[in-house]
Chain A
Amino acid sequence: MKEELEKITPSKISSFQVFLIHVCCGLALAVGFWVAHNVYSINLIFDPTGTLRLIWAIEFPVVILLFSCFRQKPEKCSYLKAIARGLLGLPVGALINALGALALGAPAGLQYFERTVSWSLLMSSLTFVPTACVYGSCWTDWHRIFACTKPKGSLDFMLCLPAHGAVIGAWFGAWPMPLDWERPWQDWPICVSYGAMAGYVAGMVGSLGLALMHTGGKQLKAE
């Protein structure tokens, strides 16, 4: 019974690994901020495009490299192929994110184009790329994770929760935008990015907790 289960979720992942990956992803974000602040001395408020680009550029290789380790069916798909999938997934995800944002009311002007692109690339690397690395273009898996929200196993949680967290965080992050406080950070897409990253981190914590519970439960069951 247990073996069968494990066959269905082949690439089993321990809670320690989950922890490690999440810490790395979180660290990548933090490093992105740190580099932006201290090396280039830019920040999100005054130069959103540059900062977002930087964060995204640091985040996405980390994500791709890490999640490619947990690619599905490793016997059929080499590490490099997984990386390629991730690279391919990046623009596709960015496109979808950007379209979603535009439908929700992101400014569509040309002067915002660059910012929207950087933001959507960041969003993509937070939401889309990990799944692309792990599952490739397998429709049923995508379907299972994003449409039905029926993740099984901590790997799915690891993909699903931070991604949803990022999207929901971005959604909430959009709320302060129309307020008339006239703060610089109310500009598109600054607070949305903050919201997305906060949601992402929350999602990571959640998935970590779930992974711990999961393994704990398993161990209990095993005993």
Chain B
Amino acid sequence: MFLHIIAVLIFTKGFLLTRTELPHSSHCSDLSQSPCHSSSYCWTKPVVDRLIIIVLDALRFDFVAPSSFFEQKQPWMDRLKVLHRMTLVNPSSAKIFKAIADPPTTSLQRLKGLTTGALPTFIDVGNSFGAPAIVEDNFIKQLIQNGKRVVVMGDDTWTQLFPNNFNKSYPYPSFNVKDLNTVDNGCIEHLLPSLHQQDWDVLIAHFLGMDHAGHIYGVDSTPMIEKLEQYNAVLEKVIEEIQNQSGPGKLHENSLLLVMGDHGQTLNGDHGGGSPEEVETSIFAMSFKNLPTLPSEFVSSSCEPSKNICISSIHQLDFAVTVSSLLGVPFPFGSIGRVNPELYALAVGTWKLDDNKTWNNQDELKLEEWLQNYVNVICINSWQVKRYVDVYSASSVIGFSSEDLFHISDLYAKAKENQLNLSFDKNESSNTSLPVLKRQIVAYFEFLSYVAELARSKWTEFDLKLMVTGIGIMLFSIYCHILAIRKLNKSYVVSLPLSRDSGISFGLMLASFTVLMRASSLLSNSYILKEGKVANFLLATTCIVTLRFSFMMNKLLLEAIIFLLLIFICRIAIEIGLYKQAATSQFMSASSSWVLGISLSESMWIYIVEIVSILALIILGYFLYNAISSYCRGIAKCAMMGTILSYLLIALYWISESNILDLPHFLKGMGKTYIPRTIYSIGLGQILLMTFVPLFSKEEASSYKGSLYVKMISILSTCSSTIIILQGKQGAFVALGFLLAGYCMMKLQGIEQHSVGGAAKITILDPLPILQWSLLAVCLFFATGHWCAFDGLRYGAAFIGFDEFVLVPQAILLTIDTFGFSHIFSVFGLPLFVQMEHNSLLSINLFWIFMVYGLITATTATATIVCVAIQRRHLMVWGLFAPKFVFDVVGLILTDLLIFVASIYYF
């Protein structure tokens, strides 16, 4: 078990990408160290006075680009018409860019990337909830340092990322995905009045509605199109407003408007991975001046000649540095982007628009001047990147390799040399020729793009050594596991009165075959997606085999058939679960299942479901009562009475939640918070009772097996009440099914031995029922509506009994909900399979069962790890394999822990 943890830790370290964040930041005075032509300004000459950034979350590229760029016109295209119109009317001052983001494409990561100009890391994705403040140097921080006033409105991630940085902020919570309008309406409410005010230099408005609409309804849906139209109207107003004020001397004389997305989304509205749909977003930039056009060398456009709209592409990395240069603030320290010539040109062109009317004669000179300026900017840019690389490789543990560093310095030296020549030339004659400037720019570009490329490959590179070590330790732990099991087996066989040569039984073969099948199925993304079905398939297969044995023996047919039926029901439940997953997942097309035939909105169905679930609960309680009256005495009895009480409370809770009875409102409110809390506390009390009481009073059990069962039943009942209330209505059914399945398996397990051995006394330890048990656990995980993705967590469960968000208890509740049936229940339920009556043998048997169960879990987890390692370049590695990896690893550690606890409890 400890081996597992170590292995997992090492592998995780290798697998999850890491990049050291440097606390340094740039200052105005740093510039004197650079070889570039320094001016009286801070770093660059500010060319834009005011900047309006409108962030539309999850803005797909095809939302913005004209539909003529694509093969087919889809209903969601061409909805932001105002942007098209602007680009058509004055192509030199308004432009649409295709912005390419770096995965992972979650909002937090993108905002970080946009402001710091650095590459994101996977660790951050995990942090996505807490939204820790950015410690690295970033563009907002630079703005503040240089006395710019920033106003932000919309998504509250901004205020979490940059606490206390803004002059004014109007944050709105981004947590509630179902709420399409709060954030947007808040933005709109504040955006237009703010345009008239003078107390800001940079305005950021972050609209979230599109992201939420995508998450819930998908791209091709009416809410999405409504959102787009709404944005169109808003943008139209904004542009009109700014244009009215853009005259000389007015408020927006020198303003730049940026409308941008932080990332794209798939057609199902999801994002996070690295597929083109998610990565490609858009930036629309518009300055309110007339500008000259750029020399064509630096234009990376793909034009649509018929419509006369050109679209260039830009990396999101470049955003921070470009905007910084426009505003004249120092570039963020850790940025590795380059100043994008086109975006820069949009605004910068204005600096020499003097009142000179002889445009044609001056054209060349202007261009040259512009280029000169740009060379200067990009020189500073290169110097800054070089400095970052130097500092980074000096301070970081995992730096760049020396060859790469050498190459970087080489490129930089070349570019710098040119620069010196250039400035020398410039002193000689003011008439520098254009080609020299252009060559210079190209040299810097080469350097910058090389660094960006290198950084991208370095920081998205996995640490193979650590990964291999992790896998090796994992395999070694499995090997140890197997050895231990064999040893146990041997001692077991030896201690048997009638020791018999136990060859490789059919059950063992089948079990290992099934485990292998399952392990190898994890290699493919589609099997991971349908893991529930695969597990169910294998479970049903083993079940059919057992059924065959029971046919062979002509007994216990009923149990086998019931079991098969249960599996069938479980399978339907899984399908419903998968259907739910399909609705939100990015990888599955939502297949209209027959489930839809029953519209759940009908009130009658709701009533039936409620009544039946309460009935199931009552049946459970009845079973428990039976168990109490037949077996238990003393403490166990107390514990179980507690459980029955909490069952009653759960029933009450459900009734109060539903609308069958018209309870007064006050009572409802009471019920909503206090009943669950009472149940939790009862459960906790029961656990404490059962942990401590045996320590003080050692009662002599009549038969060890009997006491074991009593213990098991009591702990299961203890856990069950909490889990059931967390799972909601389905919990009772599942618990009932679990009970029944356990019973069937217990009955069935001996069959094979009986048939093979003939004598009932001899029982070889058989891994098959344990395998079935673990498969059943996996099935239940999926049947209760979970799946291996972060959005598969049922956040609703965390809020049962609590209204406000408190991290620790809610995290515990969420864990219990997620792993309740599949891990907690199943590990504690394992003693069902103990067969022996004899005392010492029994403990060996029990221990053996735990070991085998642990082995099965460990094998699956190892398979996941190996598959993740193999597929680390897979397209869906972040979307699918990484969550699966996290879930499996957490499950494995939890299982180990639970096995540990359970073995302490049972021995």
Contact = CB atoms under 8 A, between A and B. Distances in A.
Interface of A: 100, 102-105, 108-111, 143, 146-148, 171, 174, 178-180
Complex A-B, nearest 10 residue pairs according to Cβ-Cβ distance, in ascending order:
A109-B594, A147-B551, A147-B552, A180-B526, A178-B530, A179-B526, A104-B540, A103-B540, A103-B568, A178-B526
B525 A108 contact: no
Contact of A105 (B551, B571, B587): B571
A135 B75 CA distance: 64
A179 B530 CA distance: 9
A183 to B, nearest CB: 12
B593 A105 contact: no
A148 B575 CA distance: 34
B783 to A, nearest CB: 13
Interface in B541-556: 541, 543-544, 548-549, 551-552, 554
Contact of B540 (A105, A111, A147, A180): A105
A171 B541 contact: yes
B594 A105 contact: no
A62 B571 CA distance: 37
B552 A178 contact: no
B524 A179 contact: yes
B529 A178 contact: yes
Given A103-B567, A180-B525, 13 more contacts: A100-B544, A104-B536, A105-B533, A105-B571, A111-B594, A143-B552, A147-B548, A147-B552, A148-B552, A178-B534, A179-B524, A179-B526, A179-B527
Interface in B297-351: none
Interface in B631-655: none
A105 B552 contact: no
B537 interface: yes
B564 interface: yes
Given A109-B593, A178-B534, A103 B526 contact: no
Interface in B497-544: 524-527, 529-530, 533-534, 536-537, 540-541, 543-544
30 contacts: A100-B544, A103-B543, A103-B571, A104-B536, A104-B537, A105-B533, A105-B536, A105-B537, A105-B540, A108-B572, A108-B575, A109-B594, A110-B594, A111-B594, A143-B551, A143-B552, A143-B554, A146-B548, A146-B551, A147-B548, A147-B551, A148-B552, A171-B541, A178-B529, A178-B533, A179-B524, A179-B526, A179-B527, A180-B529, A180-B587
A61 to B, nearest CB: 29
Contacts of A179: 524, 526-527
How many chain B residues sit at the interface, stated as a range, is 20 to 34
B734 to A, nearest CB: 18
Nearest to A186: B526
Nearest to B528: A178
A110 B592 CA distance: 12
B594 A104 contact: no
Interface of B: 524-527, 529-530, 533-534, 536-537, 540-541, 543-544, 548-549, 551-552, 554, 564, 567-568, 571-572, 575, 587, 593-594
Contacts of A146: 548, 551
B839 to A, nearest CB: 37
Nearest to B570: A103
Nearest to A102: B568
A148 B551 CA distance: 9
A144 to B, nearest CB: 10
Contacts of A103: 540, 543-544, 564, 567-568, 571
A104 B542 CA distance: 10
Contacts of B554: 143
B194 to A, nearest CB: 47
Contacts of B549: 147
B343 to A, nearest CB: 38
A178 B533 CA distance: 9
Given A143-B551, A147-B552, A178-B534, A108 B594 contact: yes
A178 B528 CA distance: 10
B216 to A, nearest CB: 24
A113 to B, nearest CB: 10
A104 to B, nearest CB: 5
A143 B567 CA distance: 24
A110 B598 CA distance: 13
B592 to A, nearest CB: 9
Nearest to B595: A109
Contacts of A110: 594
Contacts of A100: 544
A178 B527 contact: yes
A103 to B, nearest CB: 5
A62 B587 CA distance: 46
A103 B539 CA distance: 10
- Highest count of chain B CB atoms <10 Å: which of A103, A146, A179: A103
- Highest count of chain B CB atoms <10 Å: which of A108, A171, A179, A180: A180
Contacts of B525: 180
A163 B575 CA distance: 30
- Highest count of chain A CB atoms <10 Å: which of B525, B534, B571: B571
